[in-house]
Amino acid sequence: MAEIIKITDRISYIKATDNPLSADVGIVEGDEFIWTFDVGADESVPISLNKIQKPKNAVISHFHPDHMGNLEHVNLNEIYLGANTFKYANRGIIVGEDFFFDDGVKIHIFPLPSSHAKGSVGMEIGDYAFLGDATYATMKQGRICYNASVLKEEIAVLKKLSAKLFLISHDEKFIRPREEILAELEEIYSKRNPKESFIWI
């Protein structure tokens, strides 16, 4: 069984693993539902999630297997995901605009432009915002890069959030100050060549 680590009275998470590769899984306790951010790929994750005696909704950050591999093994009421992820899951509600829910905690689910994975989704709860892998780069022609226009859009979306802390999957720190992440992304964006679509790292 995977260990559930408490962040606040309402917010917890299951730590990412490398073997098997499995993303950090956020857990938000609402009055009516448990809201998970991703479901990971490690087989111990669904065992821990299914033991929580409350109906569950999942927000899937993107389509990579380490984030959604356990989708069929977690008992879910509803799934919220991007249009590209929907192609892999074949079910759920597509997040094409901001969704807001009040479940004893205010939950904000939003589309998140990302070079790492098309159609990423984030989830904000008060001072915390789960971003999955959305702030990471991608590989093109064997090189690490960001799509310049997508990165500009991503920075704009993140700046509109009220959360003070960003939760980045696979990051050793996991919970990082908003301003630190924004500064890193803006530094990368400042290195763009206006004549190129990609910022090479």
Query: Token pair of 92, please?
Result: 């759920």
Residues of the chain with pLDDT under 70: none
Domain membership flag for residue 76:
yes
Q: Residue 160 falls within a domain, yes or no?
A: yes
Question: Are the beta carbons of 39 and 61 closer than 8 angstroms?
Answer: no
Query: pTM, whole model, 2 decimals?
Result: 0.97
Domain that holds residue 18: 4-139+150-183
Domain holding 52: CATH number? Answer: 3.60.15.10
CA distance 112 to 131: 8
Q: Are 117 and 62 in contact (CB under 8 A)?
A: yes
- Residue whose entry in the numeric block shows the structure tokens 């093994």: 73
Q: What is the pLDDT of residue 88?
A: 97
Q: What is the pLDDT of residue 182?
A: 98
Classify residue 153 as left (phi > 0), alpha (psi -120 to 50) or beta.
alpha
135 neighbors 187 (Cβ within 8 angstroms): no
Q: Is residue 193 part of a domain?
A: no
Q: Are 4 and 49 in contact (CB under 8 A)?
A: no
Q: Say what the pLDDT of residue 24 is.
A: 98
What residues pair up with 28 in beta bridges, in sequence order?
Answer: 11, 35
| Bridge partners, 36 (sequence order) | 27, 58
Tell me how many domains the chain contains: 1
In a domain, 200, yes or no: no
Q: What is the pLDDT of residue 1?
A: 86
Per-residue model confidence (pLDDT) at position 137: 98
